[in-house]
Each structure stands twice: as structure tokens, then as C-alpha cells.
Amino acid sequence: MRYLPLTDADRADMLAAIGAEGIKDLYRDVPPGALLSAAVDLPAHQGEMDVERAVSAMANKNLNAAEAPSFLGAGAYRHHVPATVDAMIQRGEFLTAYTPYQPEVSQGTLQYLFEFQTQVAMIAGMEVANASMYDGATATAEAVMMAGRVAKRKKAILSGGLHPHYRDATQTIAGFHGMTPEVAAPDWQGDENLIAAIDGETACVVVQNPDFFGRVRDLTRLADACHGAGALLVVVVTEAVSLGAITAPGDMGADIVAAEGQSIGNALNYGGPTVGLFAVRQKHLRQMPGRVCGETADIDGKRGWVLTLSTREQHIRREKATSNICTNSGLCALAFSVHMTLLGETGFRQLAAINHANAVRLADKLDAMAGLEVLNDTFFNEFTVRLPKPAAGVVDDLAAKGVLGGVPVSRLYARGAHGDAMENLLLVAATECTTDDDMEALVRSLSEVL
Amino acid sequence: MADSLKTITGNRGLQLEEPLIFEQGGPGRLGVDFAEPASIKNRLGGTERTAPIGLPDLSEPQTVRHYTRISQKNYGIDSGFYPLGSCTMKHNPRLNEKLARLPGFASLHPMQPLSTVQGALELIDTCAHWLKVITGMPAVAMSPAAGAQGELCGMMAIRAALEDRGDARKRVLVPESAHGTNPATAAACGYAVDSIPANERGRVDFDALMKKLDNDVAAIMLTNPNTCGLFENDIIRIADAVHQVGAFFYCDGANLNAIMGNVRPGDLGIDCMHINLHKTFSTPHGGGGPGAGPVVLSEPLVPYAPLPFVVHGENGFDLVEHKHGAGEKSFGRLKGFHGQMGMFIRALAYMMSHGSDGLAQASADAVLNANYLLAELKDTLSPSFDGPCMHECLFDDSFLKDTGVSTLDFAKAMIDEGFHPMTMYFPLVVHGALLMEPTESETKETLDQFIAALKGLTAKAKSGDADHFHQAPRLTPWRRLDETTAARHPVLRWSPPKDEAQAAE
């Protein structure tokens, strides 16, 4: 077996050195009968070529979003990832290192985490960021629990414009933790009034910008209302590229920013793994969950970095920790950071401008079609279209024509929970990958299936 | 001596100094080329960004050099021996990386119609099948993002099952030797944590457990093999006793690498167990993630599994995404979308490559390597417990008594010898712990070199040369870093130098 270097001669020598008769001798603490005498019922080992053939056969059964005109968003976006990104993250020194607990031999990981934290804080308009979370949805749940610790209150108001997966993950994780998330109705019409819901029990208001239906808002008034009531404003961002075009959440008054970073440097990967971004105000630093990297110096005075503030974490605090998390999303954070380095200020803002321009052009084309209506007054690179019939069926018909036409809103909301009002709604996204041919293919196919 | 040579640049041959990206940017440089966007009237509703972000502009060659240089400051499994106990630092096959990047997986959007992702669902289902057969369990929840989230998943399923039968309960029993995530998880699920002591053999003290076990206990969280590297001999008795009072048995599967293919946790009476795909099944640790933590479940817990999950439907594979039908009693959702697909591909490639025979051989080799270290070092270091051990061996610091050398100092001297240190000061049940996990990936030659190095270092410590250890490491690009100042005065981001910031205003 190519991955196992011990030879039978090695094994015999080592057993002799141990003083064991055979390998079973080493398993003698296993209760009688529990040690298997035959192999489990699975195929035997295979060569690289055979494994590649079998797994590739499964990959080939899928229609991938890079080959088809694709307009899917809803929290995961197809963006171009420069070749440099993957070449860098596949360096074995990054790929095969553990958490940097030994800083003298981990400065590579620590330096990119420090740079990552700085990039995240900058685009979010916040003072500090952590070294990443699992994804945007879990970052949102952690933000709510953090707000509970800061405000010493239990109630969290979740906007109806929050991505339903983020809403559900927050209800589950923060709910088990003892918070009481209150969920507003799906805000597809964009007229909810969160300010009226804030009271003296409210730990935080969670609002997404652009929201799940694509709308972009100035959150300044909401932030003021939160602060006036002693609550925190948590701003969720599912499309990190938008931060290149829109005023940063921190500049609108956010106290915590929880975001999905997949759009920068990371492939779609059928939704995972991705990378959660988490940024906060300096004054709340010690209530922030997750790993953080900090600057220091070695005994010769040379600048370097270490994991720090670990007294918040589970391996020190155990049941009193701020979170049970013990990993970040290291390699995805590296991919984010390499891509962001390539983009820089200039490229990041250009990328955002192209995304927005393509979405505006697409929205105008769709809005001009008979029977279609773009609901959004504002948007970044994604918007909601009302179709003349249920969107789920339309999307299936489009897929049969090789076009991935968008995400039916109904897929994200439990059947029957909110009546039929959302059955005809379709989320449509455009990015820098969207070509004129793609847009034409969508318009043509839509007119055929409607 | 070569290490006293001062250079003009601060570089030292192949060891190249590298500033932060923020110290290398220059206006006019670009790392990407975009076409001009089409001219449009913006629809941002007055929220357009006006303030500069502050990101540096670098070219592509600078970027490649930056990350190449900093990567060279890292120690990885690819570089050398990484016997970090409890972390299973085994070889990461590159085939896994190649397959995860197949466009038919990497470019799949999670919200595509199910008719266009049948191969992806088949892969998840196939990976699940291997995990179920290896563990001897009837079901597996695939979506948890990491081991710690897997723990959360298991404990939430337990709480949902208990509440469903109107018997919420308040306490969770956790052995002293447990990973910190266990008590943190129990607390995150709203339970009070009650600690169980270890006995003199490094196992759970069965009598002490029985005294704490009553019908207010929701679950026990037990790692097996445990964090001392020992198989819990009483595990079946413990499972029976736990079930007797109507509680559940959460098994921490961090150490599955010791037993895969040789012992099925399902035969030991467990109710749920998370599997760290990044440990046992070789998905890369990546400097701290991403991980993946699928959780196998016993029949009583299956109805409460998290959303979403794959089922066999009439027209192929189907995905249950909402709380109705098969998902009616689900405790809810743990993360966005469907789990760590990229990790399922890698883990499946690893399992298929090994096959049932190779998996059993791999765990046997891991156990053999650890016992070899224990046998060869037992007269030099101080083993905490009698053998045999499982896939990792534990020592305490009594061999360093009166030398003036601590476990930490000893570990730092190992770095100068070219090894990554073992896990230190964990588990908490022995003083100054040194926990070594060699994995099946190492040759006997590597182990022999390691053994010789530890014997040499021990002799040096006992000869009174404490200074050698206090000064270590000396041969790394950085020497010991000041962690106290880092925590006391946290600097978590780069900020522009003061005069530059003022000039910008």
C-alpha cells in the first residue's frame, strides 16, 4: 500500500523490540469479541488510477457552473479565482501544517493570518477581525452569542432579509446556547420595520446587506436606534465583493460584522468548505470568539506573530470558553488573503464595479421581458425577479436547456410556511464571469420556457 | 560559528526576510487585469463607497514571492516528523487534492437543481457509506463543519431526543482527561458539566462514574481510545450503565485512527461519535482548518439529525432541506449549505485508496509505531502508564526532575533537532505531559532518529546543561516569542505608520 512505509521486516523487528507476539497483542485492552477478526465489508485497496477513475465518474455526472451560463447566488457566488491563488495554497508548508501553536516554526501561517485579519478589518470598516470562522452562517450565530455576552441580554432580532440558512443556523446554535432569536417574516417586499421591534431586552439586531433579496441599504439609522437602546447591530454580508462598492458596515455603525468570504479566492465547492469573516470593535475584543493572531517580538527583538488571547478559548477555559470552536478555516482564509493581495485596493474596487455593472445590465434586460418584473429598487450583483409562474419549475426547465438560471426563493423557505407569495420569485446574480453570451442565453431560454 | 554571521540584508542564505504586504504596496501596481466596466447608472441607492479601504496594490510576481517566502517559515508534515499527539498528522495524499479540484465538484453551486448534481450527492452518500461501515453505525450526519461542530451536533441530537421524550435532564459527565472542546460543547448546549476523575491506570474511574450517574445525566462524553492513548477497557460496561439510567453515550472520535478497520465503535455501545476527517482520513490540516466533522448516530438519535441530509428518492438522490417529512424532528441546521463537500471528496479518495485491508493495516501501523516509541523511550523518559498504548504514547515530566528543564524547554530543543514537538501539557491528568502520536506515515528510520535525538537531549538535560534548553530554539528564523506581551497589549492588525496616516487626512 503506497501510503504505508513500514515493511513486514520492520514490523517484525519492532514487535520484537516491544516484546509483543503480534499486533493483536497491542490491542489486548479491547473488550473480548470487539476486535474484528476479518476485514470490514468494503472494497480492498486500489491504485491511484482506479480511484481517480471512480471519483471522476461521479464528478462527470454533474453540470458544473463554470461550463453553463450560471446566475446562481443566494450566498455562494461564482467568481474567477486567479491561478496564483491555488498554486500558493497548495504549497505543502501551508497545506500540511497544523494550527500554529509553535510560533518559531509557524511564522508563515501566523504572518498570513495577521495580514488576513487586517484585510478583513479594512474591508468591513472595523477595528479588528479574527482569524476566520467556519462560514458566514456560523459566524452569524457566533455574532449573536457574542452580542448576548456584551449586552448581557438574550433577545436577538433577525431581519427577514437574512439568508434563511444563516437564520436557521443562528436559531439552532444560539438557541441551544440560551439566546432567544426572534425571526421577522421574509422581507421580500423590503418594507420591514426593525427599529420598532427593538426594546430594552434586545441584545442585537441582525441585518444583512445586501439582503437576501439583493437590496442595499444605508443602516445608519438602524445602528443609531440599536445603540440608543443598548443593543448591538450585527451586519451580515454574504457577498464579500460588495464591500468594494458599498460603504463599509463599520462606517454605517455596525458593532459586529459577520460575513461569508467564499467570493474572494475560494471555489464554489458545492457550498463547502468556505470561510467566515468576523470583525468587531476594539472595545469588544475580549468577547470575540475564534482564533486570533497578534503581533509581538522574539527574544532578539525581531517582530513576529503568535496566536493570542487564548484565555477565551476552549482548550484553556473549557466549559467557560467564549465558544467551543477550536479551528478556523485556515487554508480558505489563505486563499482569500492571496486573492485579496492580488486585487489590492484598485483591483478590488474594479472587481466590485464590474459585478455591479453586469448585474445592472442583466436586470434591465430581464425587466424588459414581458411578464417579468425586477422587484429591487437597489441591488449590488443580485436581485429578485417575479416570474409569471413558480420559479422552481422554471429553473428545472432552464437546467434542461443547460442554463443555471438562478435560485428559486421557495427552495430556501419551508413549503407552506409563508403562503404562496414567494413561489414565483427567482434570485438572479451576475458576476465578472457573466458574459454577454450568458445573458443572451438566459433571456432566450427564459422566453422559451415561460 | 555560522549562526553568528551578520548579513547586510538580514537575509541568511535561503532564509529570506519578508515584510508584510502592507509594507510593499505601491500606487500603480496591479495583480489583476480587468476590462473597464460597462457604463451604467448605479443602483446602489446612495450607499456607494467613498472612503478608501487602505489595501496595498502589489503585482503578481511580488505576490508569488511573498507567499513563497513566508511559506518557508512553516514546518509541515511534508517537511518532517510531526508527532503532535491527538492531532493525527499523517501524510496528505496529493491525489485527494487533485480530485477535490475536478471542475465537476469544485465549480458546483450548492443551490443548483438536484437533477444537475446527482454525482455530488452520490459522492456524499458513498462517503457516508464508508463511514457507517467503518464505525458499524446505522447513520451519519455529514454537515458539521469541524470536529467541535460535530460534538455540538451530537449533543444537540441528544438534547432533542431527551426533550422529545419530555425528559430534558441537566448534567453531562466529562472525564478530566477530555479535550477542552467536550466541556465547552456541553456548556454550549446548555448543560452543566460534571467532571469524572481518572483512575491510576489512566482510564475512567468506573466507581466514581457510577456515583455520579443518575437519571439527571443527559450523556457521558468519552474519548476512546482516550487522550492518554489508552483503550477504555470498561467501555462496554460504561455504555450499559449509561443506557441503564436512560442517558446517551457521546464518544469523541478524535482518536479513530487507532482502531479504524480493527474495532467498530458501534460494537462498543456508543450513541454518537464525530469523525475528524482531517485527522483520521487525511484531509489537510491547512494551518488550522478547514476541517470536517461528520457524526455517526445510533437509531434512537437518527430522527433528530441536522438538516440537510441526502436520501435515496424515486428519481435518484434527494436532499432533505426542511423540517418536514424525513426532516420533521430534526434539531435544525448547523451551517450554510450542505457540509464540507471538498473534504468528503478527499476523505473518500483516502478510504478508497486504502480499502478495508489498508485501513486496518494503517491503524495497526499507527499503533505499532506508538508502541515502538514507548518501548524504546520507556527507560529514558517517564511513561505515565503501563503499555500497551494505542496510537499515541504519553509521558510526564518526572524524567526532567531537578534538571531545571521544563517540558516546554525540552520541546523547543526538539525544534533545533529538526522535529515538530509533540503535544505538551495535555492531557491535564499528568504533570507536564508529553503526548506523542507518530501515525502510520513514518518509517522506522525516522522513529529511530527521533528516539536517538530524545535520548541525547535527555542526557544533555541530566548533565546539567539547562542553558541549552532555555536558549532553544536557536536555529529557527525566529527565537522564542513573547506571548505575554501579545496578550496584554493585543495588536491584531497592521496600521499605517502615524505620519503616513496623518498625511492621508
Which positions in chain B touch A42 (Cβ < 8 Å)? Answer: 130, 133-134, 351, 355-356, 359
Question: Which residues numbered 89-108 in A keep a CB inside 8 Å of some CB on B?
Answer: 90-100, 102-108
| A118 and A183 co-located in one domain | yes
Task: Tell me, yes or no, if A200 comes closer than 8 A to chain B by beta carbon.
Answer: no
Does any domain span residue A56? Answer: no
Does any domain span residue A35? Answer: no
| C-beta neighbour count of A395 within 10 angstroms | 27
How far off is chain B from A371, nearest CA to CA, in Å? 22
Residue with cell 471512480: A54
Taking an 8 Å cut-off on Cβ atoms, the answer to whether B368 and A6 are in contact is yes
- What is the full DSSP assignment across A415-450? TTTTTTTTTTEEEEE--TT--HHHHHHHHHHHHHH-
Which residues of chain A are under the pLDDT cut of 50? none
Asked whether residue B250 carries a pLDDT value surpassing 60, the answer given is yes
* CA–CA dist B214, B111 (Å, integer): 46
Chain A contact probe: residue of B493, B494, B495 with most A CBs at under 10 A:
B493
| A335 and A438 co-located in one domain | no
pLDDT at B505: 47
- Burial label for B120, CB within 10 Å (0-12, 13-18, 19+), is buried
Taking an 8 Å cut-off on Cβ atoms, the answer to whether A84 and B64 are in contact is yes
Give the residue numbers spanning the domain of A284: 83-339
| A355 and A278 co-located in one domain | no
| A145 and A292 co-located in one domain | yes
**DSSP class of residue A264?**
T
Q: What is the 3-state secondary structure (H, E, C) of B401-438?
A: CCCCCCHHHHHHHHHHCCCCCCEECCCCCCCCCEEECC
Assign residue A113 the CATH number of its domain: 3.40.640.10
The domain total for chain A is 2
Domain C-terminal end among A313, A339, A365: A339
Does any domain span residue A7? Answer: no
**Considering Cα of B460, then B462, then B463, then B469, what sign does the dihedral take?**
positive
pLDDT at A317: 72
pLDDT mean over B279-305: 96
Taking an 8 Å cut-off on Cβ atoms, the answer to whether B359 and A345 are in contact is no
Domain C-terminal end among A317, A339, A361: A339
Lowest mean pLDDT among B24-28, B213-217, B452-456: B24-28
Task: Kindly indicate the confidence band of residue B504, based on its pLDDT and cuts at 50, 70 and 90.
Answer: low
Q: What are the boundaries of each domain within chain B?
A: 95-351, 363-480
How far off is chain A from B398, nearest CA to CA, in Å? 22
| A371 and A310 co-located in one domain | no
Taking an 8 Å cut-off on Cβ atoms, the answer to whether B415 and A104 are in contact is yes
Does any domain span residue A184? Answer: yes
Name the phi and psi angles at A2, rounded to 5.
Answer: -65, -20
Give the closest residue to A131 by CA, choosing from A332, A343, A345.
A332
| A334 and A348 co-located in one domain | no
Taking an 8 Å cut-off on Cβ atoms, the answer to whether B360 and A36 are in contact is yes
* CA–CA dist A257, A235 (Å, integer): 5
| A218 and A315 co-located in one domain | yes
| A104 and A205 co-located in one domain | yes
Name the phi and psi angles at A44, rounded to 5.
Answer: -75, 175
pLDDT at A398: 97
How far off is chain A from B332, nearest CA to CA, in Å? 6
| A285 and A410 co-located in one domain | no
pLDDT at A336: 98
Does any domain span residue A181? Answer: yes
Taking an 8 Å cut-off on Cβ atoms, the answer to whether B91 and A414 are in contact is no
| C-beta neighbour count of A248 within 10 angstroms | 22
Query: Rounded to 5 degrees, what angle do the CA atoms A405, A411, A415 make?
Result: 145
**pLDDT, tens digit (0-9, with 9 covering 90-100), for B157-189:** 999 999 999 998 999 999 988 888 899 999 989
Distances (CA, A) of B456 to A413, B377, B410, B411, B461: 64, 11, 11, 13, 9
Taking an 8 Å cut-off on Cβ atoms, the answer to whether A4 and B365 are in contact is yes
| A417 and A440 co-located in one domain | yes
The CATH number given to B95-351 is 3.40.640.10
Chain A contact probe: residue of B170, B333, B391 with most A CBs at under 10 A:
B333
Does any domain span residue A111? Answer: yes
How far off is chain B from A408, nearest CA to CA, in Å? 9
Asked whether residue B503 carries a pLDDT value surpassing 60, the answer given is no
How far off is chain B from A217, nearest CA to CA, in Å? 7
Q: Does the global pTM surpass 0.90?
A: yes
Asked whether residue B238 carries a pLDDT value surpassing 90, the answer given is yes
The beta-carbon neighbor of A348 closest among B55, B72, B415 is B55
* pLDDT-above-90 percentage for chain B: 91
Domain C-terminal end among A311, A339, A367: A339
The beta-carbon neighbor of B231 closest among A30, A46, A359 is A30
Task: Kindly indicate the confidence band of residue B2, based on its pLDDT and cuts at 50, 70 and 90.
Answer: very low
Assign residue A385 the CATH number of its domain: 3.90.1150.10
**pLDDT, tens digit (0-9, with 9 covering 90-100), for B328-359:** 999 999 999 999 999 999 999 999 999 999 99
* CA–CA dist A306, B298 (Å, integer): 41
| A196 and A281 co-located in one domain | yes
**pLDDT, tens digit (0-9, with 9 covering 90-100), for B190-232:** 999 999 999 999 999 999 999 999 999 999 999 999 999 999 9
Question: Which residues numbered 366-425 in A keep a CB inside 8 Å of some CB on B?
Answer: 376-380, 395-396, 399-400, 404, 407, 411, 414-415
pLDDT at A66: 84
| A92 and A171 co-located in one domain | yes
Which positions in chain A touch B286 (Cβ < 8 Å)? Answer: 94-95, 97, 330-332, 334
Task: Kindly indicate the confidence band of residue B25, based on its pLDDT and cuts at 50, 70 and 90.
Answer: confident
Question: A33: which residues sit within 8 A by CB, 6+ positions away?
Answer: B267
Does any domain span residue A218? Answer: yes
Taking an 8 Å cut-off on Cβ atoms, the answer to whether A114 and B47 are in contact is no
Taking an 8 Å cut-off on Cβ atoms, the answer to whether B22 and A115 are in contact is yes
Which positions in chain B touch A142 (Cβ < 8 Å)? Answer: none
Domain spanning B363-480: which CATH class is it, in words? alpha beta
Does any domain span residue A57? Answer: no
